[in-house]
A and B are shown apart, each in its own frame.
Chain A
Amino acid sequence: AQSVTQLGSHVSVSEGALVLLRCNYSSSVPPYLFWYVQYPNQGLQLLLKYTTGATLVKGINGFEAEFKKSETSFHLTKPSAHMSDAAEYFCAVSERGSYIPTFGRGTSLIVHP
């Protein structure tokens, strides 16, 4: 069984500040890990994913995440927040070969001017 824990249902940052969204997972097998972003009344857009290889993964819009097996974490970061980054962010885990990820509860990113 797999599970994802996203710490903090809301994260508030100032524009230009560092963004850190936390994600911890549990999986009995080597996982695939994903971060998705969702804007209001829209579907999910893939920000980045880890499948194999380099543990620091770079995605779109300046986001990156690091897979840390020892900590079972896959935290999402961005050096400088923009107002347009305000959205809901979902961390997800799936087994290799599965196309059905298990999603975290989501973290709402609020960006203040």
Chain B
Amino acid sequence: GAVVSQHPSWVICKSGTSVKIECRSLDFQATTMFWYRQFPKQSLMLMATSNEGSKATYEQGVEKDKFLINHASLTLSTLTVTSAHPEDSSFYICSARDPTGPNTEAFFGQGTRLTVV
């Protein structure tokens, strides 16, 4: 099946710094990727839809200047948390759509645990 990989799996950063999280589709080209945020003991919340070669579409309430998304190639989307603060600490998960074949769902990465201290 399609494989989506995130890097890093976990990261600790100081308050005020920026952190970049990568989401790669390893065996398919993903024209569309999705970024989710998950708070402890809660469900996934869609943050934005990332389209290759165009600007990301952000969900209501998500600060686009805070969470920069770049989808520069068909296999890579990045989420940069700028000027991170402790309240940005969370689990971030990406998913990617394989536009070929009969797939009916996007494929999820393993997630990135961000801790801001």
Assuming the contacts A43-B110, A105-B43, asked whether A32 and B104 have C-beta atoms less than 8 A apart, the reply is yes
Considering the chains assembled together, what is the distance between the CA atoms of A104 and B44 in angstroms? Answer: 9
Chain A residues proximal to chain B, CB less than 8 Å: 32, 34, 36, 41-46, 49, 51, 90, 94, 96, 99-101, 103-106, 108
Main secondary structure of the interface of B (DSSP, over half): strand
Among B9, B93, B106, B110, point to the contact of A99 (Cβ < 8 A).
B106
Contact residue range for chain B? 20 to 34
Considering the chains assembled together, what is the distance between the CA atoms of A30 and B39 in angstroms? Answer: 30
A14 to chain B, nearest CB (A): 23
Q: Is the CB of A99 within 8 A of B109?
A: no
Considering the chains assembled together, what is the distance between the CA atoms of A41 and B38 in angstroms? Answer: 11
Bitwise interface map of B from 26 to 56 toward A, beta carbon under 8 Å scored 1, else 0? 0000001010000001111010010000000
Among A100, A106, A108, point to the contact of B49 (Cβ < 8 A).
A100
Q: Is the CB of B34 within 8 A of A105?
A: no
Assuming the contacts A49-B105, A99-B95, A101-B105, asked whether A43 and B43 have C-beta atoms less than 8 A apart, the reply is no
Q: Is the CB of A51 within 8 A of B104?
A: yes
